[in-house]
Amino acid sequence: MNLALFDFDGTITRGDSWTPFMRLATGPARKVVGYTVLLPVGVGYYARLVAGRTARPLYAQVAFRGVEAARVHDIGGRYASEVLPRTVRPRALEQIAWHKENGDTVVVVSGSLAVYVQPWCESGGIDCIATELEERGGRLTGRYLGGECTGPEKAVRIRRRYDLRQFREIYAYGDSAEDREMLAIANRRYYRWNEADEYEPAS
């Protein structure tokens, strides 16, 4: 049996799934606060001066702190079924299908939010490792449970979930520097759908 690890945004999807979801899930008043308080962060992000892994948790704090968890999960489920299918690359679905036909274990490993990545994966019979929103008493705290699933954390969570020694080959598919450590785990690496023996992504 083989293991196939797929990044989500930019690899399975044609682009960013996180920002459209945040626009959909964030209430009007919180959007105003976010645009005002986090304006320097947003400008820095689009100018490539602030990393996404730094900016995203700050926006999540503003958007979700104290919000009813069931409401966000409901929006995530609808986003997964109604919006994501329009953004998914046919090539990605074909590759996932190929792995499943071979009996491989297929896993999406994503820094995006589990509230919508998880239901999308469940609909296709795929395992999911993604960023989880922390809940207490039925409400979100605005924090990530265990941090964001990007960079080195991807490799940590993969090894925590799976015994890599049981797989004959490990495939990994990614598109950015946030996938570096996940790709390093694999002996079959695909960066932006091109196979490479070595992986040296642009920063």
Does residue 203 form part of some domain?
A: no
Per-residue pLDDT of the chain (203 residues; tens, 9 = 90+): 999 999 999 999 999 999 999 999 998 877 766 666 665 666 565 656 556 677 788 888 989 999 999 999 999 999 999 999 999 999 999 999 999 999 999 999 999 999 999 999 999 999 999 999 999 999 999 999 999 999 999 999 999 999 999 999 999 999 999 999 999 999 999 999 999 875 555 44
C-alpha to C-alpha distance for 58 and 55, rounded to whole angstroms: 5
Cβ–Cβ < 8 Å for 171, 107: no
pLDDT digits (tens, 9 = 90+) for 69-84: 999 999 999 999 999 9
Does residue 121 form part of some domain?
A: yes
Report how many domains make up the chain: 1
C-alpha to C-alpha distance for 101 and 119, rounded to whole angstroms: 21
pLDDT at 29: 72
HSE-up of 12 (CA within 13 Å, CB side)?
A: 26
Does residue 47 form part of some domain?
A: yes
Q: Any idea what the CATH number is for the domain that residue 38 is in?
A: 3.40.50.1000
N-term to C-term CA, the chain: 33
Does residue 166 form part of some domain?
A: yes
Does residue 201 form part of some domain?
A: no
> Is 0.85 topped by the overall pTM?
yes
Residues 106-121 as b/e (b if ≥16 CB within 10 A, e otherwise) read bbbbbbbbbbbbbbbb
Does residue 86 form part of some domain?
A: yes
Which of the 8 DSSP states describes residue 56? H
Does residue 140 form part of some domain?
A: yes
Residue corresponding to tokens 């395992």: 127
C-alpha to C-alpha distance for 129 and 108, rounded to whole angstroms: 6
**What range defines the domain where residue 189 resides?**
3-196
H or E segment and range at residue 23: helix 18-25
pLDDT at 202: 44
Does residue 28 form part of some domain?
A: yes
